[in-house]
Structure 1
Amino acid sequence: MTVFKHETLDRTVRYQGPIFTVYSDKVTMSGGGTATRDVVENKGAVGVVALDDVGRVVLIKQYRHPVGERLWEVPAGLRDVHGEDMLITARRELAEETDYTAARFDLLVDLQTSPGFSNETIRMYLARDLAPVPEDERHERLDEEADLEIAWFDLDEAVAMVLRGEITNSSTVAGLLAAARARDDGWATLRPAT
């Protein structure tokens, strides 16, 4: 079978902002014609499933304006520091959003969140061997993070929350399910963090 090579013939910028850019691309199609496809180009993000020594995961609940709700999520953040290694971003986001650091990070899963219209990728890490950030070194939370709630859940309960529809953030869903599977496999399926 011959695989058709799709080519972008033209690109028009529709919107350009600090987090994402929207393009309309004219693309060659496998059937011989062309089509216009809107594309959201995103910086990408990282997320962290942080487990303590007794198998609890730390979740945060924060307001997400596009859906108008406060959602339970794992700590996560945009890759908005130019040139910053993803693992460093993950370490920073964990500390800023939960007041914890981790001595051990492993790679859980890589996600393409909405490949039908966006190039956004999220790398999910598993963090273990946790320690609290000293009180005087904690990040000052502003904007939507100012009133975020931090709570600990048994990993199995967090998975049950996913299955009951109480956790709907896609990267959190994927991270929690991947962490539970990795735990059930004795951590043998984890990949190195770097």
Structure 2
Amino acid sequence: MSEPLHDERTDLPISDRRELHSGYVMDLVSEAVDLGIAGEVRREFVRHPGAVAVVALDDEDRVALVRQYRHPVRAHLWEVPAGLLDVPGEPLQAAAARELAEEADLRATTWHTLVDFFTSPGGSDERIRIFLARGLTGVPESHRHQREAEELDMDLAWVPLQDVVAAALTGRVHNPSTVTGVLAAHAARGQGWSPLRPADAPWQPAWHRD
């Protein structure tokens, strides 16, 4: 391979598109796509607005984790703060800062792009950008977000980065943004943070909803 390893966006011909279900957050769609030599196939998948997540790392190399109930998997999961891209036109980093404040009552002065990923590319178009946030301070109590639903009783814990990495590798934490984010942070820290990208780095390959 002469070029650096990279994914490539490919827009194949779509002959038919149907919305099977329109949900509160996500939709279920069906598309007939021409794969060329492999012929036309029909695929059903979840259309998702996308999300952001934040590995918030303090001066003691501790990660801010929140404990949230996730009904589809019937479990309380330890997670890095995260949320949907559900505000039209909101930049990714601004969305991440909003979620960090809403879920963990934290602000950050230093932001970098840590890693991007598709959560389940065989069945959903959901993408997530994970940021690394440092220079943390608390949001004044008078300005804190009023939580509701699953977020109402979330616990906040500060856990050493190496302990979260160990929990991921031994199968004790399962949230994909947490696992992906802490492993990426651990790898980047081992290289003196040199792999970090700017907070406004473009998503590659260019991603958009049709």
The TM-score with structure 1 as length reference comes to 0.95
**Match among 37, 40, 47 for residue 53 of structure 2:** 47
Select which of 178, 185, 189 maps to 1:179.
185
Give 2:92's match in structure 1, choosing from 86, 91, 98: 86
List alignment gaps of at least 5 residues for structure 1.
none
Q: CA-to-partner distance for each residue in 1:103-162, whole Å, 9 max, x for gaps? A: 000000001111112111000000000001111111111000011110000000000010
**Aligned residue for 1:112?**
118
Which 4+ runs in 1 deviate beyond 4 A? none
Q: Which residue of 2 aligns with 1:26?
A: 32
Who is 2:81 aligned against? Answer: 75
Cα distance in 2, alignment partners of residues 17 and 193 from structure 1: 31
Q: Which position in structure 2 is the counterpart of 1:166?
A: 172
Structure 2's unaligned 5+ residue stretches are: 1-9, 201-210
| 1:156 partner letter | Q
Counterpart amino acid of residue 13 in structure 1: E
User: Residues of 2 paired with 1:128 and 1:5: CA distance?
Assistant: 37
Partner of 2:196: 190
Pairs aligned (count): 191
SS of equivalent residue, structure 2 residue 65: strand
1:124 equivalent in alignment to 2:107: no
Higher mean Cα deviation, 157-166 or 5-14? 5-14
Query: Percent sequence identity over matched residues?
Result: 49
Quick one: which amino acid aligns to residue 173 of structure 1? V
SS of alignment partner, residue 37 of structure 2: coil
User: Pick from 127, 147, 158: which aligns with 1:152?
Assistant: 158
Paired letter, 2:174: T
Q: Alignment partner of 1:39: what SS?
A: strand
One-letter identity of the residue aligned with 1:133? V
Distance 1:135 1:32 in 2: 58
Out of 92, 103, 106, the position equivalent to 1:100 is 106
**Separation in 2 of the partners of 1:33 and 1:97?**
46
What is the alpha-carbon distance in structure 2 between the residues aligned to residue 149 and residue 141 of structure 1? 12
TM-fit CA distance, 1:5: 6.8
Give the TM-score taking structure 2 as reference length.
0.88
